[in-house]
Amino acid sequence: MKKLQEIRLSWFDVRATVESGQCFRWYPLSEDRYAGWIGEFPVEVEQEKDAVIIRVQEELPVEQVVRYFDDNRDYRVILDPWRSSDDLGDIVNRWGGIRILRQPLDEMIISFILSQNNNIPRIQTMIERFCQSYGQRIEKINGELGFTFPQDWEQLVITEADLRSLGFGYRAKYVAAAVDAFQTGEYTELEFSSLSAQEQEIKLLDLLGIGKKVAACIRLFGLGDFSAFPMDVWVLRIMRKRYLDETSSPKKIEAYAEAVFGKNRGYIQQLLFHEYRRREKESE
């Protein structure tokens, strides 16, 4: 195993963050420890009372770890106005430890294409098959072998038929089209960094199989755009029952979210999403 380093970050709620539906390659090792990936690097994260300890290989720059866990953002600025709110105070105080991870753009594009009409365990399984087929086999922090998310797209030959054999179904053609787009070099974080939020959305919608919901997920979890407001069936149900009515269109819901939740509406959406999914699990 390569030499490791420990990085101490400011406190956040590790479990709620990695179980809030925004990532698919993180798994519990114990109540306070999780294993996952930052790009091609295996990572272990441990929750402490006043901090989070990150164990990674020395080759992974500290700045990249800080960026991935969004440690430079002052979440208090977002949360404090809501803590005494009659509407969201309880939820904000319960789940305000959630952070929005800055995950690799290509990984988010593939992951949220696979998320369509799917559940989280099955998405995780499909992504793992993809990594096993096209990623590099390397040793993880605990000494076990794992597979990176594919990196060198221009070196890979991935067909729709190959992806159907992995059980991707109709999503196979969308993933194959995304891989083709990666190979052109037009879907890199550097390319997107020069675009406005509207231009980023347009470019994502140009990809086969990506609609507004998936594009919003990619913008929020891959590009750090907190104004993106993903609306899956959960969020539509929450917004209609909690704020509007059963006939409210996605366009009306998005306008309401912008007016009420403001520029950080994507983050507020994540807290609501996690709260209601937890309620559902606890009622089962």
Say how far apart CA 17 and CA 23 lie, in whole Å: 9
Binned at pLDDT 50, 70 and 90, residue 263 comes out as very high
How large a percentage of the chain has pLDDT more than 90? 95
Average pLDDT over every residue of 140-165: 95
For the whole model, what pTM was predicted?
0.95
Write down the pLDDT at residue 98: 98
Tell whether the model's pLDDT for residue 2 goes beyond 90: no
Write down the pLDDT at residue 281: 82
The 10s digit of each residue's pLDDT in 26-61 is: 999 999 999 999 999 999 999 999 999 999 999 999
Write down the pLDDT at residue 245: 94
Average pLDDT over every residue of 253-271: 97
> Domains (ranges, CATH) in the chain?
4-74 (3.30.310.40), 105-223 (1.10.340.30), 233-283 (1.10.1670)
| pLDDT mean across residues, the chain | 95
The DSSP annotation for the chain comes to ---EEEEEEE---HHHHHTSSS-SS-EESSSSEEEEEETTEEEEEEE-SSEEEEEEETTS-HHHHHHHTTTTS-HHHHHGGGTT-TTTHHHHHHHTT-------HHHHHHHHHHTTT--HHHHHHHHHHHHHHHS-EEE-TTS-EEEPPP--GGG----HHHHHHTT-TTHHHHHHHHHHHHHTT-SSHHHHHTS-HHHHHHHHHTSTT--HHHHHHHHHHHH--TT-----HHHHHHHHHHTS-TT--HHHHHHHHHHHHGGGHHHHHHHHHHHHHHHHHHH-
Q: Which amino acid is at 126?
A: M
Tell whether the model's pLDDT for residue 23 goes beyond 90: yes
Write down the pLDDT at residue 1: 63
Average pLDDT over every residue of 152-159: 94
Say how far apart CA 177 and CA 222 lie, in whole Å: 19
Binned at pLDDT 50, 70 and 90, residue 284 comes out as low
Write down the pLDDT at residue 83: 95
The 10s digit of each residue's pLDDT in 94-120 is: 999 999 999 999 999 999 999 999 999
Tell whether the model's pLDDT for residue 125 goes beyond 90: yes
C-beta separation of 176 from 160 below 8 A: yes
How large a percentage of the chain has pLDDT more than 70? 99
Tell whether the model's pLDDT for residue 20 goes beyond 80: yes
